[in-house]
Amino acid sequence: MKTLEELSREYQCLKGSQWHNYMVMYDLLFTPIREKVMSILEIGIAEGTSLKIWQDYFPHAIIYGVDINVPKNVTGDRIRMFEGKQQDWDFLKQTMDKIGPCDVIIDDGGHILQHQLCSLLYLIDWVREGGFYIIEDVPETNLKFWEFLTMHMAGISQGKLEQIPIFTGPITESILGFRRKKGLLE
């Protein structure tokens, strides 16, 4: 079975080591749960490259994507896409009512702080126990804010949320987020 880094090179995905280098972190986080993940949602589809990678990587998962412009030519037996804004709670509610809780949620959408915050605050409750919520491409200038917020949220979650280590790639943008503790996946 191929690693995410290998799949990234094959599909020329920007999450791979040629650019952001996030896949090294994702390989560490996701390898232990690879066979158990049943659903993953990514905000931000673009041409669908990462959705295809998730489909190849997680053999049993349905892959959901959300974007303001859903591409017409992305196909895949286990890929489902929804058109709407990540900051629109009505849209997120309608979507999550259809999808149900997810094992992994990744925000690779518009990368605007307020929008990332809107999505996080609505979607964090839709992460299954043992699953991950990850925000990509956090610039250095916003890192302190996110560090504080995620620490605070972990603190007030009564042990339900655990921060994942901040990982900064070679071009100084970071990924960060939570793992929902005590899980079905463990």
> Which residues are part of the catalytic machinery?
111
169 binds ligand SAM (CB under 6 A): no
Interacting residue with ligand SAM among 4, 5, 8, 15 (CB under 6 A): 15
Nearer to ligand SAM, 96 or 161 (CB): 96
- Whether the CB-CB separation of 119 and 68 falls below 8 Å is answered with no
Nearest 5°: the CA angle 65, 128, 88 is 45
- Whether the CB-CB separation of 37 and 106 falls below 8 Å is answered with no
Nearer to ligand SAM, 109 or 169 (CB): 109
Torsion of CA 148, 123, 88, 149, to 10 degrees: 0
DSSP 2-54: --HHHHHHHHT-TTSTTTT-THHHHHHHHGGGTTT--EEEEE--TTSHHHHHH
To the nearest whole angstrom, how small is the minimum distance from the Cβ of residue 181 to ligand SAM?
A: 26
20 binds ligand SAM (CB under 6 A): no
To the nearest whole angstrom, how small is the minimum distance from the Cβ of residue 54 to ligand SAM?
A: 10
Between CA 140 and CA 145 the distance in angstroms is 10
Positions 46 through 65 that interact with ligand SAM (CB under 6 A): 46, 49-50
Nearer to ligand SAM, 42 or 103 (CB): 42
Residue where the block lists tokens 């605007």: 112
13 binds ligand SAM (CB under 6 A): yes
51 C-beta neighbours (distance < 10 Å), count: 25
Report phi then psi at 150, rounded to 5: -65, -35
Binding residues for ligand SAM, how many (CB under 6 A)? 21
Candidates 1-9, 94-102, 104-112, 155-163; binding stretch for ligand SAM (CB under 6 A): 104-112
To the nearest whole angstrom, how small is the minimum distance from the Cβ of residue 154 to ligand SAM?
A: 25
16 binds ligand SAM (CB under 6 A): no
Binding-site ranges for ligand SAM (CB under 6 A): 13-15, 42-46, 49-50, 66-69, 85-87, 108-110, 115
